[in-house]
Amino acid sequence: MNMIKTAMITGANRGIGLELTKKLIGEGWNVIALIKSNFPEVEQDIQMKIKEGQIRIYKADLSNFIELKLAIKDIKENEKGIDVLFNNAGGSFDKLYYSAQARELHFELHTVVPYILLAELKPLIKMGSHKLIVNTSTNAFNFIYRITYEDMMRPKKFKKLIGPYSTSKLAMTLWSQEISSELSKEGIKIICVDPGGNNTLRNDRKNGIPFFLIPITRWFFPHPSKGADILYKSSIGNLSYQSGAYMTKGKNEPLKFSAYSSSVLEEIKSIYLNDYLEERQISHD
């Protein structure tokens, strides 16, 4: 019997995702990496594991449904199971950007795409032993004290950190909590984990961190391996978690704005059914 575990990680080639990949391959896991760009050439151990097949790469701009569908199709055709799905891709951007589907980019990447991956890859997840989805969340939305449903789902104004970045993570955490009982009937667990503050600043990319926090982030925030360790310990390293949990600072915390959770889930399901699946049908005609 093959006892080797397989994790799928989005955004596996940078920041927390890269450190999580290193941790898992060091423990003998296989890693399915769904990424937009290459792993760094300087990561020689990673490059060796790619050649050996312990890391298997599928490429796509996750915010482009055409590319995403092609990558998912390849994963379904080539992989036999997924023990843990880490929805980790994304980040905080410096202004409002929009996806190929004309939705705000934070929302598309953080809120919509994790649901699509869950819906499309559920058969592979059910083949795994852990049957677990781990969504990377944040505690930044705890600094939001008032929000409307429209602001969360269709942001028109931009504010660094506690704007679309936080609200998109909040929406993802809300639908994850709402869907947890439905998934439990299929033996699947889902949790959202806040990896805490990490220094993921990159010189080649603008970020959505307020200017006054940049020096604090650069000098005082830990290396992204700390966030990867939190993701690991809160999920794989702690199988006593409750499905639907929002984990921050190692504890299951109550979620703000939970009155919106069912409405958020219904809208995300609608996007999946009427946009993603419809687009797939159109692309096959």
Residue in this structure with the two tokens 């992989």, named with its chain if needed:
79
**What number of other Cβ atoms are within 10 A of residue 52's Cβ?**
9
189 DSSP β-pair partners? 132
The C-alpha atoms of residue 255 and residue 194 are separated, in whole angstroms, by 12
pLDDT at 283: 42
Architecture of domain 6-280: 3-Layer(aba) Sandwich (3.40)
pLDDT at 201: 47
Query: Residue ranges of the alpha helices (H) in the chain?
Result: 15-26, 44-52, 65-78, 105-106, 113-127, 149-153, 164-184, 214-220, 224-234, 261-271, 277-284
Residues 101-150 have pLDDT tens digits of 999 999 999 999 999 999 999 999 999 999 999 999 999 898 898 999 99
Average pLDDT per 10 consecutive residues for the chain, totaling 285 residues: 85 94 97 96 96 98 97 98 96 90 96 98 96 95 91 89 90 98 97 77 55 52 79 83 89 93 98 86 41
Q: DSSP states of 59-116 as a string?
A: E--TT-HHHHHHHHHHHHHH----SEEEE------SS--B-TTSSBHHIIIIIIHHHH
The C-alpha atoms of residue 95 and residue 107 are separated, in whole angstroms, by 13
The C-alpha atoms of residue 212 and residue 269 are separated, in whole angstroms, by 38
Domain residue ranges of the chain, discontinuous segments joined by + = 6-280
Residues in CB range of 119: below 8 A, 6 or more apart: 272
pLDDT at 28: 96
Q: What is the pTM for the complete model shown? A: 0.91
pLDDT at 43: 95
Residues 219-246 have pLDDT tens digits of 555 577 888 999 999 888 876 778 999 9
